[in-house]
Structure 1
Amino acid sequence: MKKLFLCFVSFLFTASLLGQPYPYQNTKLSADARAKDLLSRVTLEEKAALMQNNSPAIPRLGIKAYEWWNEALHGVGRAGLATVFPQAIGMAASFNDVLLFDAFTAVADEARAKSNKFSEQGGLKRYQGLTYWTPNVNIFRDPRWGRGQETYGEDPFLTSRMGVAVVKALQGPEDGEYDKLHACAKHFAVHSGPEWNRHSFNAENIKPRDLWETYLPAFKDLVQKANVKEVMCAYNSFEGEPCCGSNRLLTQILRNDWGYDGLVVSDCWAISDFYQTNAHATQPDATHAAANAVLNGTDLECGSDFRNLPEAVKTGLVDEKRIDVSLLRLLKARFELGEMNDKPVWDIPYSVVNSKEHQALALRMAEESIVLLQNKNNILPLNKKLKIAVMGPNAKDSIMQWGNYNGFPAHTVTLLEAVRKTLPESQLIYEWGCDRTNDVAVNSLFSESSMNGKKGFVAQYWNTITPEGEPVATEVISSPFHLTTLGATAFAAGVNIKNFSARYKTVFKPTKSGDVAFQFQTNGRTSLTINDELVVKNIFANNTTNVYTLKAEAGKSYTIEILFSQRNGDAALNFDFGYLVPVDLSASIAKVKDADIVIFAGGIAPSLEGEEMRVTIPGFKGGDRTDIELPSIQRRMLQALKAAGKKVVFVNFSGSAMGLVPETESCEAIVQAWYPGQSGGTAVANVLFGDYNPSGRLPVTFYKNINQLPDFEDYSMKGRTYRFMSDPLYPFGFGLSYTQFTIGKAKLSKTTIKNNETVAITIPVTNTGKRNGAEVVQIYIRKVNDVDGPLKTMREFKRVEVESGKSKQVTLSLKPSTFEFFDAAQNKVVVTSGDYEILYGNSSDAKALKKLKVTIQ
């Protein structure tokens, strides 16, 4: 009876407190004060749970469930409808950080609107929260790296400028009551492939000069100039320590040297690499790994090893007070976002999502991203009265245009669709021509399959190893499957990375009879059923394999069902079905014989280059490339067209630099389109037909071939990028226009300055051609007599619109940081006395640059 009475008194006492909110519930207090109060009220076990990306609810304190993991690389990712901008490398080619800020302001608005809607359902799940793990500001040091497409290129200054714009746009005004979102600088710090061994790779023997002048500047600027709220540590090791357990990176440099006070999040399951035998294996078990990560500066884990932190405290591996330091940062971040409040703090209507204004921004960004590399005899822009053939594997592939880490647009305009809108059918020929990489390809039949009135397969997912009960997610997949958990990517929102199962079902109604091949590449228990007959029980296919052939009859219905469950390790399911079509070059050329011009849409795709992939076809390995040249089948097609007397405009879609030496001979024009997003087809067509004057510039060096590249695993910058090599196919900063610009003689406000002074440079730019256009004025610096330094390094740029026949005076301020270089004697980046060359022009090519000299006393 006494015990019952005490429980009742306790209940009354607790209930009375509900009328008086705790300090952490008081929205008038600062985020810091609220966080400190809440921290004092959670248990050690609750602290460990809150330090994992999938943070559970704590009902007794009114803490809602929260998922830290969200993506917005070039639009809100993986959460349904969103405006899909060009891939990051394409946006870098715009050299327009002002437009990039506008684009990511739109992204931030869509993100808040979507999160507000998701919050109506309770706690925020994966890809629903307010903490976005973007931008990727790693240096794209080698074109073979599959994730280089996610970056802003090879140059530290360009990467910094673009990254700062992204962070400021996502996080919103710094003087706002609440942050709009939180951005994340990743992957800190020396990280740019290879993908296949990233969990065990050790970036070592990095020269201090390369570290401070190449790999760290963008991260430093995002911390000190943009106040980025999160930093993500990388998978690989740096000088023998996993990056997420690197005291030098996370404590000495990030916090002590740069004064960073935000939170550090691990890349997903990177802490597991600390003790996995096939990874870094620097710690004996998960408990030691969790303690080591926290002690060295990681606050939040994407993964589940931090559940061992209470045990680590009990065994003396880490003090609970150190746990509190990390958790305080996490709680403060949630309060800064207003996520702990009862109602959304940013009132942004859902109607902004893929609105007309945002669609227009996506188109403009796509237009500005396109780089004209070659234009023999001014074949471009094309005359709209000509008969045009559109060919190539990327002519009508909408998914290719999305890049990776993408959202899903309401509609994607392909190049073929855009040309069809530009020309009457009588002037257009479409011929597929060839596959991206294979001599035999699948003519996909997804368009002839549907379920419940929707094209494609209905996908259902369960967070159990067998499909039982109600599915946790249901969606429609209307195109060939490219599903993987590599890179810690779920098959669908709300689905586990491990211990899950799936069912994919459709009804296939062929319009013609023939042999239909079912192609799989899978890692997981997979079976195929047709019309309730189990035709393949266990599918084992490490590479794309034809596992079954259906002798289809026109007019009949075939119910297709694929069952999948994650077996062990990383799951993968790539699937397509259709008629096998051998490539016939002569037949394809015959079909375009009446065309005046052939537009060949080729290149590669995100299904070939990307994050830790199971791609093992020639030229590709694990998401990276082993060769940078155009796949052989496309090269042969272009050469055959040339031999047939056809004038070819080659549109290259890729997320990385390509070795295009043969194409400079076989093609009249070459256009670099990247992965241009939802409006990419329209943008490319506008350039091809002259409705938009191209103005993009290369954010990476285009090498002639792989022989110009050092070893991929060598992180030395020697011989890499425009800064340390001088004989490329196309140089960094290069891009042609349909008009001509003259850059006149520049003037300096001073030619002798002190090391803390700013000097102004004024550069006249004249449009001497017949069309309005945009020029990108570029400034590079070289320190005279610096034998170990770069040949030149970009330190300023400005995009300027100039009308035909007009001139503009472009004035730029060269701040003291413009002249910073690594000084071995002081072991840091500083401005030292001496002579400096200011190189200015419209690309990094020495022939395109003029010189001035300034002396620093």
Structure 2
Amino acid sequence: MTYRYLLLPLAMAFAGGANAAAPSTPEQKAADLVAHMSLEEKVAQLQSAAPALPRLGIPAYEWWNEGLHGAARAGYATVFPQAIGLAATWNPELLRQVGDVVSKEARARFDAIGAGRDHGRYEGLTIWSPNVNIFRDPRWGRGQETYGEDPYLTGRLAVGFVEGIQGPDPSHPRAVATPKHFAVHSGPEAGRHGFDIDVSPHDLEATFLPAFRAAVTEGHAGSVMCAYNALHGTPVCADTGLLGDILRKSWGFTGYVVSDCDAVDDMTKFHYYRPDNAGSSAAAIRAGTDLDCGYAYADLVQAVQRGDVAESVLDSSLVRLFAARYRLGELGAPATKPKPVDTKAHSALSLRAALESMVLLKNDSHTLPLQGKPRIAVIGPNADTVETLEANYHATPRAPVTPLLGLRARFGADRVSYAQGSPVAAGVPVPVPETALRAGSGSDAAVGLTGSYFAGGSFDGKALATRVDRTVDFDWDHVTPAGLPKGRYAVRWTGTLLPPGPGDYTLAVHVERCFDCAGHDPVRLFVDGKPVIDDKGDDKHAQATVHFDDARPHDVRLEYVHSGEDQGIRLQWLPPAEAQLAEAARAVASADVTVAFVGLSPDVEGEELHVDVPGFDGGDRTDIGLPAAQQALLERAAASGKPLVVVLMSGSAVALNWAKAHASAIVAAWYPGEDGGTAVAQILSGDYNPGGRLPVTFYRSVRDLPPFTSYQMKGRTYRYFTGTPLYPFGHGLSYTSFAYGDASVSTATLDAGQTLTASVTVRNRGDRAGDEVVQAYLSYPAADKLAPERSLVGLQRIHLAPGESRTVSFALDPRRLSSVDAAGKRAVVAGDYGLFIGGGQPGDAPGQRVDFAIRGQQALPR
């Protein structure tokens, strides 16, 4: 049953009949509607899976949707670089365009179902992004979801993304953005559900709140998500000072607050804040948490009945929620023809974002761009995997391009040799590479396995499609492969496995299990006709160890039955280390240059992962160095004496100490999205001149860092770190060079409260066009002992042709010239200041410094 067009007439009737004046504003409509709900109906609507209320014409609506770097988890959509890669573009306008695409594709999915109809999870218009937590420590696995370590950069990118998500009309947003996780939340993952953070008033105001403030006061985000953790003993979803005094009163926020998923339940189970969920829910909604992602708010009926919270408090939250649904056109709006997703224009923007995100960290002797038609050895565990394109919180790419495929397309398949070389880390299986798979036998056997695709969830009858799959590494979340009809299907892959050498092999079948769903997909793996894995759907990482005496081919058969809601399949392995290294050495021997794709993967860094191998702990890291297996691969490749280009694919900083000393060139490519392989090829070939900058500090070792569990900012990030980084925040090279001159400020002496204008002339002095990221850093009076070493206060990404010059100006308002005292009070204070404007931080990049003084003092609002 559908309920389209029913709600508005009913609301008019509730207001006093057809002749009465109809409610005019979204808030009035919402209040009129809420007034006719029972207590039980109200409580149901305060939970993220809000059910339909047919008698009131309300369709079911699931508030949970994701759009971190693409309209996620609901089928094909454009997959942009992971958020940390988007941050490396240092381009707020690009982030606005990315947000625009994300919301348009989310809106297209919504419209395909229709306004006034039931919408399930990942089908709605309330998008739980961006993540604007400060990436304070590289050990945090979810730091990849953020915009880096700097509050100003994060704020500018957040404003751009939020504006893109919501669109130009506040009264009719395309979607609602939800900055998260408010506030002071950045690991460790292991204790996140009950972690109590002791943060100083100075660090709270100077580091952890500014990006949220910008997203709310400038981006006008319609929603905010409160975090799992507590601050000084109070869970933040029940913190009236945070949600009421700061968010609503100081910042003027008028939207709704949603909890992180099960955060209210955590208040009972892990924070022990109240003895039951009725008490925790009452505390959360009184503090200002309007919507519960989870089921804890179901106990609000009990809370109201026993007097823990007044029903009128529930009404206030419901009005905010239903007002948002009215603004979105989700209730009672006419049908709209859905628009397409993952269009060519959207894909082109994803490629542009990937290109702008890549950071050239090192380039000795002009190794890059690669000249002529070199023979290239491509090695490394990240060279040919879909998951390292996608990262987490991703959509399904229709035609992902891995680095190996991108380089083959650019330089020619006959010029590129390939060997996987190593796993990401000891004990972590990686997809079986194409070099080890053959469809058929003999010299004419195709690379890969023969996939036979059946409709109906069984292998009965004739396959509807048969094709050769180069690898079994598929993301099929909410899509069906090979043109099969929607619903259940089955796939049987057959062929041979070619081990690179004798030894023990761990074979694994990874099925991306759906969360909170009924039923999982069974898999079976046979080697030489014998079953080695028979998983009924209970295990995400089904594994078995087999021994091969030699490198001869072995028959392999993999059977997969998609009978539930699981999201894809990977055939993986862990071969003997020496066999992989020897195979890589053979590829290098026939090449002129080696390109090694190393780093991390979403299998080892991410949200609350079940991984416990050396260097990793539950999604976080205990060691920030390159894992030993990959380090050994780099050293074996370098032993050839040929140029070694290292391409780092990761969601966070990796201490590439050996590579900095020995590699010829290093590029940080992050998790680059659906067309990341094309972007890498264009960077390495020189078709595109890299201009990305690091949004985080690359440290040399965890020994340079304070304890992970400490939220004290002293010793963290470029603003408070006094050591020597491996690569500093803001660092990035180019294939051209830039010069700075004529730096000036509008006045040498400024009265507190005034705006300072600064400008500089930037010139491209090379023979290649390129992007420069002009960065402005403020240094503070010596008497201010709590001030950072320096702070980013301005940025502009500009494009200059060879020989072209441009004057770049920054208007630095009082907030950007302010500092924070020990009590957390922000003010512009008197003293002597310095401003460095250049291509990075002073000492790392060309630029110029100008000095000025501020007279007097002016307090600033929170």
**Structure 1 and Structure 2 fold alike (TM over 0.5):** yes
Task: Return 5+ residue gaps in structure 1 as ranges.
Answer: 1-13, 461-475, 484-490, 494-501, 566-570
Q: How does 1:150-189 map to 2 (within 5 A)?
A: 150-174=145-169, 177-189=171-183
Q: How does 1:142-221 map to 2 (within 5 A)?
A: 142-174=137-169, 177-204=171-198, 206-221=199-214
Q: How does 1:535-614 map to 2 (within 5 A)?
A: 546-547=543-544, 559=559, 576=571, 580=575, 582-584=577-579, 585-614=581-610
Gap change, CA 1:182 and 1:673, over 3 Å in 2: same
- Whole-Å separation in 1 of the counterparts to 2:648 and 2:740: 29
**Superposition deviation, residue 419 in structure 1:** 1.0
Give deviations 1:280-304, integer Å, cap 9, x for gaps: 1221111111111111211000001
**Superposition deviation, residue 539 in structure 1:** 8.9
Give the total of aligned pairs: 799
The CA RMSD measured in Å over matched residues stands at 3.5
2:381–2:430 contact (8 Å) kept in structure 1: no
Name the aligned partner's letter for residue 324 of structure 1: D
1:132 aligns with 2:117: no
2:419–2:583 contact (8 Å) kept in structure 1: no
- Whole-Å separation in 1 of the counterparts to 2:413 and 2:522: 43
1:89 aligns with 2:88: no
Please say which of residues 104-113 and 304-313 is displaced more in the overlay. 104-113
Aligned to 2:272: 281
Secondary structure of the structure 1 residue equivalent to 2:495:
coil
Give deviations 1:588-633, integer Å, cap 9, x for gaps: 2133212110111111111111111101111111111111111111
- Whole-Å separation in 1 of the counterparts to 2:355 and 2:558: 43
1:519 aligns with 2:508: yes
Gap change, CA 1:633 and 1:121, over 3 Å in 2: farther
2:522–2:537 contact (8 Å) kept in structure 1: no
Task: Return the TM-score normalized by structure 1.
Answer: 0.87
Secondary structure of the structure 1 residue equivalent to 2:258:
strand
Aligned to 1:452: 453
Secondary structure of the structure 2 residue equivalent to 1:385:
coil
- Whole-Å separation in 1 of the counterparts to 2:614 and 2:122: 34
Name the aligned partner's letter for residue 369 of structure 2: P
Gap change, CA 1:28 and 1:417, over 3 Å in 2: farther
Aligned to 2:287: 296
2:389–2:676 contact (8 Å) kept in structure 1: yes
Gap change, CA 1:20 and 1:811, over 3 Å in 2: closer
Aligned to 2:836: 839
Aligned to 1:624: 620
- Whole-Å separation in 1 of the counterparts to 2:257 and 2:11: 36
1:518–1:575 contact (8 Å) kept in structure 2: no
- Whole-Å separation in 1 of the counterparts to 2:558 and 2:685: 44
Secondary structure of the structure 2 residue equivalent to 1:633:
helix
**Superposition deviation, residue 580 in structure 1:** 4.2
Choose from 362, 365, 368 the match for 2:350.
362
**Superposition deviation, residue 396 in structure 1:** 1.1
Aligned to 1:413: 401
Gap change, CA 1:512 and 1:687, over 3 Å in 2: closer
Aligned to 1:788: 786
Secondary structure of the structure 2 residue equivalent to 1:779:
strand
Secondary structure of the structure 1 residue equivalent to 2:815:
helix
1:459–1:505 contact (8 Å) kept in structure 2: yes
1:510–1:553 contact (8 Å) kept in structure 2: no
Aligned to 2:215: 222
Aligned to 1:78: 73
Gap change, CA 1:664 and 1:478, over 3 Å in 2: closer
1:113 aligns with 2:108: yes
Aligned to 1:775: 772
**Superposition deviation, residue 641 in structure 1:** 1.6
Gap change, CA 1:503 and 1:239, over 3 Å in 2: farther
Give deviations 1:627-675, integer Å, cap 9, x for gaps: 1111111111111221221211000000000101111123100000000
1:246 aligns with 2:239: yes
Task: Return the TM-score normalized by structure 2.
Answer: 0.86
Aligned to 2:387: 399
2:237–2:264 contact (8 Å) kept in structure 1: yes
Choose from 87, 93, 98 the match for 1:98.
93
1:820–1:829 contact (8 Å) kept in structure 2: yes
- Whole-Å separation in 2 of the counterparts to 1:520 and 1:511: 16
1:823 aligns with 2:821: yes
Q: How does 1:446-485 map to 2 (within 5 A)?
A: 448=449, 450=451, 452-453=453-454, 479=472
Name the aligned partner's letter for residue 376 of structure 2: I
Name the aligned partner's letter for residue 358 of structure 2: I
Please say which of residues 186-195 and 92-101 is displaced more in the overlay. 92-101
Aligned to 1:263: 256
Name the aligned partner's letter for residue 56 of structure 1: P
1:459–1:477 contact (8 Å) kept in structure 2: no
1:780–1:795 contact (8 Å) kept in structure 2: yes
Aligned to 1:696: 692
- Whole-Å separation in 1 of the counterparts to 2:304 and 2:23: 34
Gap change, CA 1:574 and 1:357, over 3 Å in 2: closer
Gap change, CA 1:73 and 1:27, over 3 Å in 2: farther
**Superposition deviation, residue 252 in structure 1:** 2.0
1:608–1:620 contact (8 Å) kept in structure 2: yes
- Whole-Å separation in 2 of the counterparts to 1:538 and 1:381: 47
1:728 aligns with 2:722: no
Identity %: 40
2:358–2:692 contact (8 Å) kept in structure 1: yes
Aligned to 1:58: 53
Aligned to 2:464: none
Name the aligned partner's letter for residue 221 of structure 2: V
Aligned to 2:661: 665
Aligned to 2:315: 324
**Superposition deviation, residue 30 in structure 1:** 1.5
**Superposition deviation, residue 543 in structure 1:** 10
2:7–2:57 contact (8 Å) kept in structure 1: no
Give deviations 1:138-189, integer Å, cap 9, x for gaps: 00000111110110000000000000001111111135x5111100010000
**Superposition deviation, residue 832 in structure 1:** 2.0
Give deviations 1:88-111, integer Å, cap 9, x for gaps: 110111111112111211222111
Secondary structure of the structure 2 residue equivalent to 1:509:
strand
**Superposition deviation, residue 750 in structure 1:** 1.1
Name the aligned partner's letter for residue 708 of structure 2: F
- Whole-Å separation in 2 of the counterparts to 1:478 and 1:311: 54
Secondary structure of the structure 1 residue equivalent to 2:149:
coil
1:382–1:689 contact (8 Å) kept in structure 2: yes
- Whole-Å separation in 2 of the counterparts to 1:807 and 1:694: 19
Give deviations 1:53-88, integer Å, cap 9, x for gaps: 000000001011101000000110001111111111
Please say which of residues 834-843 and 68-77 is displaced more in the overlay. 834-843
Choose from 412, 416, 420 the match for 1:428.
416
- Whole-Å separation in 1 of the counterparts to 2:710 and 2:197: 8
- Whole-Å separation in 2 of the counterparts to 1:733 and 1:348: 44
2:185–2:227 contact (8 Å) kept in structure 1: yes
Gap change, CA 1:856 and 1:692, over 3 Å in 2: same
Please say which of residues 76-85 and 777-786 is displaced more in the overlay. 777-786
Gap change, CA 1:529 and 1:19, over 3 Å in 2: closer
Q: How does 1:438-449 map to 2 (within 5 A)?
A: 438=426, 443=432, 448=449
1:481–1:576 contact (8 Å) kept in structure 2: no
- Whole-Å separation in 2 of the counterparts to 1:666 and 1:209: 41
- Whole-Å separation in 1 of the counterparts to 2:261 and 2:572: 33
- Whole-Å separation in 1 of the counterparts to 2:633 and 2:545: 30
1:31–1:335 contact (8 Å) kept in structure 2: yes
